[in-house]
Amino acid sequence: MFVYKIQVVTRNVNSAGTMDSISVILIGSHGESAKHKLDNWGLDFQDGDMDEYTVSSEEDLGEILLVRIIKEQYLFFPTDTWFCSYISVTCPKGELYHFPYYKWIKGFVTVDIPQGKGASMDFHFWGINALADCMRCKDQNQK
């Protein structure tokens, strides 16, 4: 049995939390987990909360590539929106994966959140190329 630790962070603004039921499926390079309802004692997914859960899998999922969030109705409550800031997954061997989202999730939906690799672009390089293209265009228009 492989145990994955999950942290779910809800944005700290008014009405960012939800009363809806939230489930997760971890999708890795070697397979995927079963659907797992994220439910601790008390209220989950409230404004500014960092909720922690565990998800078990019969097999090693490998590198976690995607987190699938399923937002469903809870009891008789009407649908509401939820602002999911990010999800972090710690694997049994200690690897930590981040899944930034920073968006509102509205209605009863399924959302796939890819892993945030933290790659950044060299904006200085792009700025120089854009300037060169602009100058080339200007020169062509003057001829």
Sign, Cα dihedral of 60, 4, 109, 72 = positive
Task: Report the CATH number at residue 57.
Answer: 2.60.60.20
Q: Are strands 2-10 and 21-28 parallel, antiparallel or unpaired?
A: unpaired
Distance, CA of 8 to chain centre: 9
Closest CA to 19 of 89, 103, 75: 75
pLDDT (0 to 100) of residue 111: 94
pLDDT (0 to 100) of residue 98: 96
Strands, DSSP E only, in 31-115? 31-32, 36-37, 50-57, 64-72, 81-90, 96-106, 110-114
pLDDT (0 to 100) of residue 137: 62
pLDDT (0 to 100) of residue 5: 97
Domain with 48 in it: 2-142
Closest CA to 53 of 23, 84, 94, 77: 23
Residues in the chain: 143
Q: Quote the pTM value.
A: 0.77
pLDDT (0 to 100) of residue 121: 47
Digit-by-digit pLDDT tens for the chain (143 residues) are 999 999 999 988 888 888 788 999 999 999 999 999 998 888 888 888 889 999 999 999 999 999 999 998 877 777 789 999 999 999 999 999 999 999 999 989 999 999 987 554 454 545 555 555 655 666 666 65
Residues with Cβ < 8 Å from 65, sequence gap 6 or more? Answer: 27, 28, 29, 114, 115
Domain count of the fold of the chain: 1
